[in-house]
Amino acid sequence: MTEKTHKGVFIIGTDTGVGKTVVAAGLALCLRDRGVKVGVMKPIATGCLSSDKRLYSTDAIYLFEAAENEYPLLSNPIRFRNPLAPHVASQIERTPVDMKKILWAYHEICRLYDFIIVEGIGGLLVPFMDNYFVADLVKEFNLPVIIVARGNLGTINHTLLTVQAGVNRGLNILGIILNGVPQANLSMAEVTNPRVIQDLTGLPVLGVLPKLSDVDVDHMLFGSLKKTFSEKIKLDTILSPG
């Protein structure tokens, strides 16, 4: 556990592909717009691409660009080629997960920036190594959590399981963001999920972020993300959780 609680959030998902990167980038854009010096970090990325024999993560670069940070090696210290859980990717690639490197990078980012946004990989129980999971890193960083979930049918179960896992591990969960909801012709599940999830978890739904056609992580397009995020998400609740 870190000795000091730094102001920031750790963004995790109920699953892979739920839009953590878009949510993290939207938050970074809005904080920058408010004049906050924000640092971003994706401690481990898998499924990385290669260029000049170096691996890079498009998700990490998207966050880096959104926050206009200056230190890419701090933002994404560990990268693997295979699109697998870090523990599995590290075994296949015969490269151990270097926790000392991750913790050093985190503390450096905390020193350089006023607010820290950390994007996890997958959900809370994605393994980094034997008996060490994303949830353990959240506790190491000592940051409150925002859960990103899908808005469609099935998300109640996934979200409640994630909340239960976080509460059982003593994590501070600020709230839940539902992401990628259609802007029209919503299903009954998409209409009712925010209220039901809030009632069942006792946690605030911080907002519902619609699917945005002009936002593309792979092509570094931010489009209307900042405007929509500022309109749809309760930023003040995130910034002032107490």
Report domain extents, the chain: 8-239
Q: What average pLDDT does range 149-153 have in this prediction?
A: 94
In CATH, the number for domain 8-239 is 3.40.50.300
Question: What is the per-residue pLDDT for 241?
Answer: 57
pLDDT number for residue 1: 35
Q: Enter the pTM of the model.
A: 0.94
Q: What are 212-241's pLDDT values in tens digits?
A: 999 999 999 999 999 999 999 999 988 875
Query: What is the reported pLDDT for 86?
Result: 96
The active-site residue, picked from 4, 7, 42, 211, is: 42
- Tokens 């971003």 belong to 40
Q: Quick check: 104 pLDDT over 50?
A: yes
- Distance, in Å, from the CA atom of 22 to the CA atom of 28, rounded to the nearest integer, reads 10
pLDDT at 72: 87
Residues 167 and 161: their CA atoms lie apart, in Å, by 10
Cα 194 versus chain centre, distance = 19
- In the beta sheet, which residues pair with residue 11? 119, 146
Q: What is the mean pLDDT of residues 141-151?
A: 96
Identify whether the C-beta of residue 142 lies closer than 8 Å to the C-beta of residue 157.
Answer: no
- How wide is the angle at C-alpha 199 spanned by C-alphas 193 and 202, nearest 5°? 120
d(CA 131, CA 21): 26
Task: Kindly tell me if the per-residue pLDDT of 2 is higher than 50.
Answer: no
Average of pLDDT values for 118-132? 95
Catalytic, 232? Answer no
Packing angle, helices 225-232 and 20-33, rounded to 10: 90
How high is the pLDDT of residue 240?
Answer: 78
108 in helix, strand or coil? Answer: helix
Q: For 41-85, what is each residue's pLDDT tens digit?
A: 999 999 999 988 899 999 999 999 999 999 988 999 999 999 999
Q: What is the token pair recorded at 207? A: 């907002």
Nearest to 41 by CA among 19, 56, 60: 60
Q: How far apart are CA 159 and CA 179, in angstroms?
A: 12
Percent of the chain with pLDDT over 90: 90
Q: Please provide the average confidence, as pLDDT, over all residues in the chain.
A: 94
Contact 13, 120 (CB under 8 A): yes
> Regarding beta strands 8-13 and 78-79, do their DSSP bridges make them parallel or antiparallel, or are they unpaired?
unpaired
